[in-house]
Structure 1
Amino acid sequence: MKIGVIADDFTGASDIANTLAKGVEPEGGLRTAQFPGIPMTPANEEIEAGVISLKSRTAPVKEAVADSLSALRWLVDQGCQQFIFKYCSTFDSTMEGNIGPVAEALANELGAQKVTFCPAFPTTGRTVYHGHLFVFGKLLNESGVENHPLTPMTDANIRRWLQHQTQEAVGSVSIDAVKQGPEAISDALRNADGRFVIGDAISDEDLLAWGEALKDAKLITGGSGIALGLPRNFLREASSKSVGIAFTGIAGPAAILAGSCSGATRGQIDVHAESNPTFAIDVPGVMSGDVTTQTLLDFFETHPGQAPLAYSSGSPDDVRAIQSQFGQEAVAEKLDNLFAETARELVQTGYKRLVVAGGETSGAVAKVVSEALGSPAMSIGPEIDPGVPVLSVGKTEPIALALKSGNFGAPDFFAKALRMMEVGK
């Protein structure tokens, strides 16, 4: 392998795997695979970029650090030359972590002296300007993520936010240096205060400049955008050769599971409900045991071929009320188990296409699907919407997955995903 990625959730892993596989013209991307958890065996020798999907974004800090270090050591054993710690492009974390503590542990393990932090992803509206993170021109803490049920982001100054999480000094490289190109970025990075450095970027051109400037960096952290220019550093070597994304489509029964409470996902559910059957999961019913896996299976079986969607998404006020009644961790665990067991049963009964919304939900589903099919590696297919590719799991009888971060995707994402899974483009 050339590049090894440690992602703190499953949708984020798909996002950066898509970026590495696609690359930029004319060079293209790397042969990329996504792994649901830390593999127990070596990777195929043809894989040039390996992305390990962890569920560490909201895990206890010690657990997140331990899992990330285990993933790093496996990637080191695969021969990776460069490593990326991938987190959400909205820097999802709390004042206690987990971004800072995990980055510290990885940097210490690798002996990295300067570590860039750049969550920018301009294609999806995420930009960093003078250390402040914006979402479609709105300050992060005014964009809706301040209402996130697990990691409410209440400060757009990510340099200040990261400083809460780490003992390392946090510096910055401003947009003024970035606009001058890779050499200026390298100089600014070298002279920046602190071991950790927030990197500005407001366009794809800025990310490409960062990619060239970071060609020799041992450890990089950020959203998927920071990987945009990295494949071509390796493709210029004779040992790497760009390959196209091979996916011809998978037909068969389909289902949609949505556990995200983001405004984007709720809007996508509303659009889908205009012409397709939907089922609103009663979360108190889940907590009491009245709503079970069989409840969801009965709904899906009643609507074959109609793109049925089951969702637990609710407004921020609804989510807070339910968490207050039952407890945040208890609700999350119950819903994760519900979605995971439903997905397992769907796959075992012949479903071939699953679309999943929400990072926690996607993590739960991807793990059980991979286990059910006995396939540790997921192949990266075509991009549905920016940051969301089709994934193919299994060799003899593969199924198609789409794991969507809550805020990603166009209003008609669900229908578009199912169509692309079937036709392959």
Structure 2
Amino acid sequence: MTEPPLVGAIADDVTGATDVAVAFRRNGLRTFLSFGVSPGLDVGAETVVVALKTRMIEPDAAVAQSRAAWDWLRRLGARRVYFKYCSTFDSTSRGNIGPVLDALADATGAATVVTTPSSPEHGRTQYEGHLFVGDVLLAESHMRDHPVTPMRDSNLPRLLRAQTRETVGLLGYRDVLDGEAAIARRLAAARADGVRYLLADAVTDADLRRLGRVVANEPLMAGAAGLAGGIAAALAEKRGEAAAPLAARSPGETAAPLADRRDEPAAELAAGGPREAISAAPLEHQAPPPPTGPAVVLSGSCSKRTLEQIAYLRQHDRPAFFLDVSATPDAAALADTALAWYDTLPADAAPLIYSSVEPERLHHIQQRIGVERAAAILEDATGRIAHGLAARGVRRFIAAGGETSGAVVAALRVDGGLIGTEAARGVPWIHSPTGDLSLLLKSGNFGEPDLLARASASGGDDVPAR
């Protein structure tokens, strides 16, 4: 009988799902990524991540899809769920972080949910309730001018309060530095005061590991991939203790609780009930060998880093086709033209097909075509192109941007896959269960300037992350 997953995760976009899946896999947990709810799949994994596209849709639809994902994870036997949102807290006063949190908190019965967008490896940190991107406040970063969710406030409690009917509190950095017992005491006090959401300061990975040890047994946790990594480390640590040979323990010694072994009060306060046993036998990651066939790069992200990656490809003479939605505001016509161009290339060309543009040009396009119409046309065109390329034998798809990644996944009708090696930090290869496709789905700001070039090169599946 297949063991139930230790934890399930629900991500609000596709690239965010890959990021959180990596956090689990790095800690030795066999991880399956499902694109949407896939009831017929035999996932056979210790962690199951459901990739949704709920970040930018209407709040009611986001809530409904997230509840459906939770219902599926619950049927699989998951006792914990992690709601993954963007490390730059992409949202508006309508949501969708708050409404989805409200729905999942009610569904899981979570009294107080610890959450943080902190992800130090990506330069996102929370301090005194304020979100920093690198060394600048969120509202002073590039996210200030995001085309859909401009972030003009850096105060996270204030941002979340605007989106939820529940009480929001802060778990400050002094408590985090003081260790698991202090964190757990603050969590217990928040519960007693009726605080539903506790935004936790975290500046380093060590901070996130401390938080992870305390909250790993909570029914609902939320944040970016950073806290997910802390939770995964705690679960893996517990499993390692269970697997340790008896000779390595002192006479009469038993495995310690999930919270810090030095701080029994933390274990008592954070547990919220009896701790479940974690299998002593770690599962090996068995992904099918990646295909070595033709590759293509599809990019719709307009982030600064993606534009740098596109420039790198162009500077190295990679064939490139620009999807000019201003000149051709028709998805079918755009796709047909792009595929006809592809047919003129050699099989190993690994070309770039992109709609990514600088902010000023993006603004001009949106003014002329309309924000929603331009996005819909390009998403439709990208899906048609991906479908046509697969029919032409492309087996490695590298997608830059959340909406682009979602369009590719939908067009290829990929239900899910096992998480493989990382081409860059937080950017793993995803291998379909049948082994005939490999996907690299990149969040806009992730990866070094040469990532798209390396990943799409011959043998790109084996190119190590930098």
Check whether TM > 0.5: yes
Which of 13, 18, 24 does residue 17 from structure 2 map onto? 13
Change (3 A) 1:240 1:331: farther
TM-score, scaled relative to structure 2: 0.85
1:172 alignment partner AA: L
Aligned counterparts of 1:176 and 1:306: Cα–Cα separation in 2: 54
Counterpart code for 1:284: S
* % identical aligned pairs: 39
Q: How many angstroms apart in 2 are the aligned matches of 1:34 and 1:250?
A: 18
1:65-84 Cα shifts (integer Å, max 9, x gaps): 00000000000000001101
Deviation string, structure 1 residues 213-245 (Cα, Å, up to 9, x no partner): 112211011011111122344332335515347
CA 1:42/1:282 → structure 2, altered by over 3 Å: closer, same or farther?
closer
Q: Go from structure 1 to structure 2 and tell me whether the alpha carbon gap of 1:315 and 1:71 turns closer, same or farther (over 3 Å shift).
A: same
- Secondary structure of the 1:283 match is coil
> Equivalent residues in 2 for 1:258-297 (5 A)?
258-275=299-316, 276-288=318-330, 291-297=333-339
CA–CA distance in structure 1, aligned partners of residues 154 and 366 of structure 2 = 25
Match of 2:132 among 125, 131, 134: 134
Mark the runs of 5 or more structure 2 residues left unpaired by the alignment: 240-277
Once the two structures are superposed, the pairs formed by residues 18-417 of structure 1 within 5 Å of their partners are 18-23=22-27, 29-41=28-40, 43-44=42-43, 46-192=44-190, 194-235=195-236, 236=239, 237-239=278-280, 241-244=282-285, 246=287, 248-275=289-316, 276-288=318-330, 291-304=333-346, 305-369=348-412, 371=413, 375-395=414-434, 397-417=435-455
Displacement of 1:285 after TM fit?
2.6
Q: Which residue in 1 is equivalent to 2:254?
A: none
Deviation at 1:248, TM superposition (A): 4.2
Q: Is the Cα contact below 8 Å between 1:255 and 1:300 reproduced in 2? A: no
How far is the alpha carbon of 1:416 from its aligned partner?
2.1
User: Aligned AA for 2:319?
Assistant: P
Is the partner of 2:150 in helix, strand or coil? coil
Quote how far apart the aligned CAs of 1:249 are: 3.7
Q: Take 2:298 and 2:416, find their aligned partners in 1: how far apart are those partners?
A: 22
| Residue 318 of structure 1, CA deviation | 1.9
Deviation, 1:407, is 0.9
- Deviation track 1:348-391 (CA, whole Å, cap 9, x = no partner) reads 2210111100001111111222x2xxx52211010111111011
- State the one-letter code of the partner of 2:420: G
Structure 2 CA distance for partners of 1:137 and 1:242, relative to 1, 3 Å: farther
Aligned-partner SS, 1:286: coil
Equivalent residue number for residue 246 of structure 2: none
In the alignment, the residues of structure 2 paired with residue 240 and residue 292 of structure 1 have an alpha-carbon distance, to the nearest angstrom, of 51
Amino acid at match of 2:200: G
Pair 1:351–1:394, CA change in 2 (3 A):
farther
Residues 392 and 399 in structure 1, CA contact (< 8 A), matched pair in contact too: yes
Structure-2 change in CA distance of 1:120 and 1:65 (3 Å): same
Q: Which amino acid is 2:13 matched to?
A: D
1:101-139 deviation per Cα after TM superposition (whole angstroms, max 9, x unaligned): 000000001110111121111011111111111111111
Distance in 1 of aligned mates of 2:92 and 2:298: 27
Q: Tell me how far apart the structure 2 counterparts of residues 289 and 269 of structure 1 sit (CA, whole Å).
A: 22
RMSD: 1.8
Unpaired runs of 5+ residues, structure 1, are 24-28
**Cα distance 1:289–1:197, how it changes in 2: closer, same or farther (>3 A)?**
closer
Shift of 1:299: 2.8
Q: 1:290 and 1:110, CA in 2 relative to 1: closer, same or farther beyond 3 A?
A: closer
User: Which residue in 2 is equivalent to 1:26?
Assistant: none
Displacement after TM superposition at 1:18 (Å)? 1.0
CA distance in 2, matches of 1:318, 1:291: 21
Whole-angstrom distance in 2 between the partners of 1:136 and 1:48:
33
Distance 2:223 2:68 in 1: 19
SS at 2:326's partner residue?
A: helix
2:290 and 2:437 in contact (8 A); partners too: no
Distance, in Å, in 1 between the alignment partners of 2:104 and 2:48 is: 17
State which structure, 1 or 2, has the greater radius of gyration over its C-alpha atoms. Answer: 2
Cα distance in structure 1, aligned partners of 2:285 and 2:73: 24
Give the C-alpha shift of residue 286 in structure 1: 3.5
Q: Give the distance between the partners of 1:245 and 1:144, measured in 2 at CA.
A: 39
Residue 290 (structure 1) shift: 8.4
- Aligned 8 A contact 2:66 2:104 in 1: yes
Moved more, 277-286 or 132-141: 277-286
Q: Which amino acid is 1:40 matched to?
A: P
Secondary structure in 2 aligned to 1:64? helix
Alignment partners' CA distance in 1, 2:341 and 2:433: 26
Alpha-carbon distance in 2 for matches of 1:99, 1:141: 18
What are the superposed Cα offsets for residues 316-343 of structure 1, whole Å, 9 maximum, x if unpaired?
2222222222222111111111111111
Give the aligned residue type for 2:86: C
SS in 2 for 1:165: coil
Asked if the contact 1:285/1:291 (under 8 Å) is kept, the reply is no
8 A Cα contact 2:12 2:51, kept in partner: yes
Change over 3 Å in CA distance of 1:271–1:376 after alignment to 2: same
Distance 1:215 1:325 in 2: 49
